[in-house]
Chain A
């Protein structure tokens, strides 16, 4: 059997977080919440005689993305009309860019699971307007909501450089992270602000050929995208193996059923009849302006990750996790600024806080909304560091902070959680535990290490978990040694 290698390219449609739409002054609203057709005007309704006027903020945001991806910004770009009929497209054409896009020839270095990186080329990024939204009712009617029509979109097109669904996922996640860092997209895919299309083909591993590809549209979550690509790769391998071959097609993805749906074959492919948009003059972008935008770019995730490794001594994996979401990295740095030490804060964030948030089905970018402030986290870890509480207690206090908020020191004081270091108290606890568990003591003396852990746990329990672990261990060792002799 032949070994196959997937060849994958991604098109990412990212809504730009502008205040107003691409070509009119309507506000950009959350179209999962705003009442239908409330953010519309004659321009975005495609009424006759009205004209588009370009939103400079959208161009600005597009430029930031282009530059963050290392693209070349051509000195002029041009809008074009993409012609097709659909009720969610008010003018019967979408204003997009075709021959002369905003940004070309960039790249994104993705992190591979083995710790390495791979450079994925970005072919182009161009501006266009979003369409409206159709809802099909049960009785066969279709409802049109044009709130989203005319919202600026940046379409970012990669070369077919991705070689697995996992690489596609890494590309998607890292690109989403960059868009968030740039402040141009909040990355909440459930609200449709970020959508993917994948083109997929397979070829015998090691070959250079490009075989017939299919396009999967409407991928509205990264997980869905990964599953869809995996299914499509399997389907294509099966088609080649069974001698049928792959035919060019456009596929949809039903996330609920986990199924690909063939929407169009090549025979019925659209001819969009692109031509330059006569209602908008050529857009000229001077090198000076490009330099200015470049100057204003924030620190991007990869740079921040490298800085965390270099300056804070974190390992690359931890640093990557902490910098993937801008909100997490900001939270982390705020905790350090409040006096937290880099590694313990990282450990607690990744190990404890993410666990709590996961249990609440809270996305990591929501970290700014939890009740544990970065200052409280730093304080909590300081208490542990100074020995005022032990690590187990620290986790308990964190649970309280997470549920209720508040000040760690006060919680420790009010609930009597301070660590027991009093040697007499510890010794008394050890003695009573040993007295209550003669069989286990017997077993220990016979050489069972497992029992040692059990006895340690019993002493800690007797101390209500507040015993200073080292002191407890010493007292226990001493008492057991006394019995051995």
Chain B
């Protein structure tokens, strides 16, 4: 049952083949069995999940319906859940129970979803492996010695290991797509403004966007249907109507123009990754898509621009964690000591590194050279995409340059770690939409991800292409075997 897709789960719930309570229990059993090794969850909400499941069953029995009624999901721990500990993977928020739900979370609850728990993340979503979590590192279900990617590594691993029918993550520079790629699941980052950011703990406000992790493009469409839409609590949410994303999943990609940007297939890419992505594009071509080589000339500036803008915004966003009003505080002699002790001891090294980088980039005398310049280049990157989308409907690239790397392999070298987001950050800078989906395995049996990029609010186009691809491939059907512990 836990190997079903979200859409299959929903069918079985709707036709009475299974109750939500039974289903939820099955996921909880799976979590009990697999999570001690995968360590995807920071907080399990077992009791609440069973209550929600029972309520869903009652509602369905009474003839009620809702888009996700009784479907068990997991939430990245940067999404505020009312009364449920939300730590953002940080020690500084240990025990913090927000008095509010993120809008996306509220929409899931309103749609009848069951919340299994909160998943691990790099601290405040800053990282690409979950190794920056203040609590522990999540393991890749395909190879427990490897990272699941990050920062939404817990959500990706949970879906990959059958510990949830689907999950939410957040994506600031690839934090949904990169772990999806490394864990062999589907990751959707909608256009900036498609989903309310209210209640998503901010890392870099102009780049953050909530996204979904699921087994299939269809599952992503089902989730997006529920959580998309404008929100009066988020002025940057886009006041445009939300289409029915499942309605467009007709398997037809004839005439779809697929762009291959030459800048994305250069040195540094793992050969098996390039081969798998090119094969996937050929598969789309065989279904009637038209492949066009394109250029995104400013792509190489993506990472530096991203790290200037993201860290600048981060330096301000992190300032509220001062121990004064909520979360953990380390008391000390005077006020300034309280600040320095609390932040000094309870924030991790990567968060501090980014705060310092961002503080520097915004400082008097450096602002023009760094922050303002980065914004100017950001505009050029956006224009690259605008021009490209005059020529093509979607852009196909690898989601990551390599498959999952080993735990500890890159944590000592931040720049190497940052490079794993080289294909994803430009999408956030442009505010575009992108989908990462499984398209093969490397020689070690590790999943490879294809990234499809579309204009900001053309998620439907991406989902249709992804769904068409998944109808004729079975990469997403494969399941990792989370081996039994030895001894």
Chain A residues in the interface with B (C-beta under 8 A): 42, 45-54, 81, 83, 85, 87, 90-93, 142, 144, 146, 271, 273-275, 278-281
For B86, what are the chain A residues with a Cβ–Cβ distance below 8 Å? Answer: 48
Cβ of B88 under 8 Å from chain A: yes
Which of B198, B236, B324: most chain A CB closer than 10 A? B324
The interface size bin for chain B is 35 or more
Within 162-214 of B, Cβ neighbours of A (below 8 Å) are at: 197-202, 204-206
Q: Enumerate 9 A-B pairs (CB-CB under 8 Å) in ascending A order.
A: A45-B325, A46-B325, A48-B320, A49-B201, A51-B197, A53-B233, A92-B316, A273-B364, A278-B204
- In the complex where A87-B322, A92-B316, A93-B319 touch, is A49 in contact with B335 (Cβ < 8 A)? no
Which of A53, A275, A279: most chain B CB closer than 10 A? A275
Give 16 A-B pairs besides A45-B326, A53-B232 with Cβ atoms closer than 8 angstroms: A42-B98, A46-B320, A47-B80, A48-B201, A49-B199, A50-B233, A52-B235, A85-B319, A90-B325, A92-B320, A93-B319, A273-B315, A273-B367, A275-B362, A275-B371, A279-B202
- In the complex where A48-B93, A48-B320, A53-B232 touch, is A278 in contact with B326 (Cβ < 8 A)? no
Within the complex, the shortest CB–CB distance from B366 to chain A, in Å, comes to 10
Cβ of B359 under 8 Å from chain A: yes
Point out the residue from B102, B232, B339, B363 that lies within 8 Å of A271, measured CB to CB: B363
The 6 closest A-B pairs by CB, nearest first: A92-B319, A278-B206, A273-B362, A278-B205, A48-B201, A49-B199
Residue on B nearest A54 in the bound complex, by CB? B235
Which of A83, A91, A274, A278: most chain B CB closer than 10 A? A278
Cβ of B234 under 8 Å from chain A: yes
Give the docked Cα–Cα distance between A49 and B87 (Å): 12
- In the complex where A45-B325, A91-B320 touch, is A279 in contact with B98 (Cβ < 8 A)? no
Residue on A nearest B198 in the bound complex, by CB? A51
Within 420-446 of B, Cβ neighbours of A (below 8 Å) are at: none
Give the docked Cα–Cα distance between A405 and B98 (Å): 56
Give the docked Cα–Cα distance between A117 and B235 (Å): 45
Give the docked Cα–Cα distance between A275 and B366 (Å): 12
For B78, what are the chain A residues with a Cβ–Cβ distance below 8 Å? Answer: 49
Cβ of B99 under 8 Å from chain A: yes
Give the docked Cα–Cα distance between A281 and B364 (Å): 24
For A46, what are the chain B residues with a Cβ–Cβ distance below 8 Å? Answer: 320, 325
Point out the residue from A45, A51, A52, A275 that lies within 8 Å of B312, measured CB to CB: A275
For A91, what are the chain B residues with a Cβ–Cβ distance below 8 Å? Answer: 316, 319-320
Residue on A nearest B324 in the bound complex, by CB? A87
Within 255-301 of B, Cβ neighbours of A (below 8 Å) are at: none
Give the docked Cα–Cα distance between A275 and B80 (Å): 26
Contact across chains for A49 and B316 when beta carbons are under 8 A apart: no
For B234, what are the chain A residues with a Cβ–Cβ distance below 8 Å? Answer: 51, 53
Give the docked Cα–Cα distance between A53 and B359 (Å): 25
For B363, what are the chain A residues with a Cβ–Cβ distance below 8 Å? Answer: 271, 273
Residue on B nearest A273 in the bound complex, by CB? B362
For B198, what are the chain A residues with a Cβ–Cβ distance below 8 Å? Answer: 49-51
Contact across chains for B199 and A50 when beta carbons are under 8 A apart: yes
Give the docked Cα–Cα distance between A215 and B321 (Å): 31
Cβ of B57 under 8 Å from chain A: no
For A93, what are the chain B residues with a Cβ–Cβ distance below 8 Å? Answer: 316, 319
Contact across chains for B236 and A48 when beta carbons are under 8 A apart: no
- In the complex where A42-B98, A85-B319, A85-B339 touch, is A48 in contact with B80 (Cβ < 8 A)? yes
- In the complex where A85-B322, A90-B325, A273-B363 touch, is A48 in contact with B88 (Cβ < 8 A)? yes
